[in-house]
Structure 1
């Protein structure tokens, strides 16, 4: 488990929150099924290091100043400034280590599909898959081997069932990845003439002649 120190937040005014971010901290909230919602803040740099070490679905030991408790949490949500890329808010969800929960896990395609080399189009349809497992059994990613996919082949959720310590929540029929046949543009049949645009006639001369006759 990785550790992260948090500070309690009592003053929730926007001006104070802005100052927190300016000073290198990220406003956050700690909550859970049996945990009362608590406003906290964490050092931005330390949080990013912790997230990289624990992984997106990893368990973090969160300690809050003056609390005296160890909160085992998952990062439920991270909000960021689209323009600056800075983290602006974090949701820490305290988990029950003995109870299963649902989590979205990233899909990582492994290998090269022969069908793609033959001109097919690789279509990655599901970038995350929902799983149910104990907090410590949630995988960081789901690897999907595409090295056997030819044109017209696909891999569905049912193909990923492998008796791991987690189960998938998605429907078995949902397609994770497929190799589609290339789109072929139809060419005009031999001897078929292409319709040409009608030629525009310049009527300026006719108009001038008509004006002279008047």
Structure 2
């Protein structure tokens, strides 16, 4: 059974009203999608955060708008990072028997031997678009990196068969890789600096000594 979140319809859309709404601890939002007209609503911020922590980023929420319930997922949200507060929410009403697309975060699990050997872990892909029925979305796409050595790469193709949902990326898309340490480049640049610096200092010293000698004369 989906977790319920209560909401109220919004009727006043003035900027001052939105500011007051947020100051009172509420978040302006919209709900749209399956059998739903685009409706402006508001939800309690504390209750919303608790609900998302309980059901997850792509979990099903029973949104109760003035007594009318509908199954929704969190489609998108806007955040004020300075205040660490959610400022607007988009809820997508869903048909539980039809597949939809949503982004799911990628979680790397374990410690890579290549990192212990001095390699650098790179993760160019932090979330992936997934097609599934609303109840079938995983909380995260988990990727095991415990066998990755320096120079190794894990791609979408390597994990596709581990999930029953559809991952909407090409097989060769890189999720994570272990790069070799860049010690040689650092050594080279250091040697160049060491070679160039003494020459400049010697030149300055020679000029200075010559000037002092000429003054003495």
Cα distance in 1 between the residues matched to 2:33 and 2:22: 25
Name the residue aligned to 2:203: 199
Q: CA deviation at 1:77?
A: 1.1
Deviations 1:138-183, CA, capped at 9 Å, x for gaps = 1110110001111111110000022533111011000101111111
Distance change in 2, residues 1:13/1:207 (3 Å): farther
Deviations 1:168-204, CA, capped at 9 Å, x for gaps = 101100010111111122557xxx9924215121476
The number of residue pairs the alignment matches comes to 205
TM superposition outliers: structure 1 runs of 4+ over 3 Å: 202-209
Name the residue aligned to 2:12: 11
Does 2:75 match 1:63? no
State the SS of the aligned residue for 1:185.
Answer: helix
Name the residue aligned to 2:127: 128
TM-score, normalised by the number of residues in structure 2? 0.87
Distance change in 2, residues 1:84/1:208 (3 Å): same
Q: CA deviation at 1:125?
A: 1.7
TM-score, normalised by the number of residues in structure 1? 0.88
Q: CA deviation at 1:208?
A: 7.0
Name the residue aligned to 1:176: 175
State the SS of the aligned residue for 1:45.
Answer: helix
Structure having the larger proportion of residues in helix = 2
Name the residue aligned to 1:141: 140
Which structure 1 residue ranges, 5 or more long, are not aligned?
210-214
Name the residue aligned to 2:3: 2
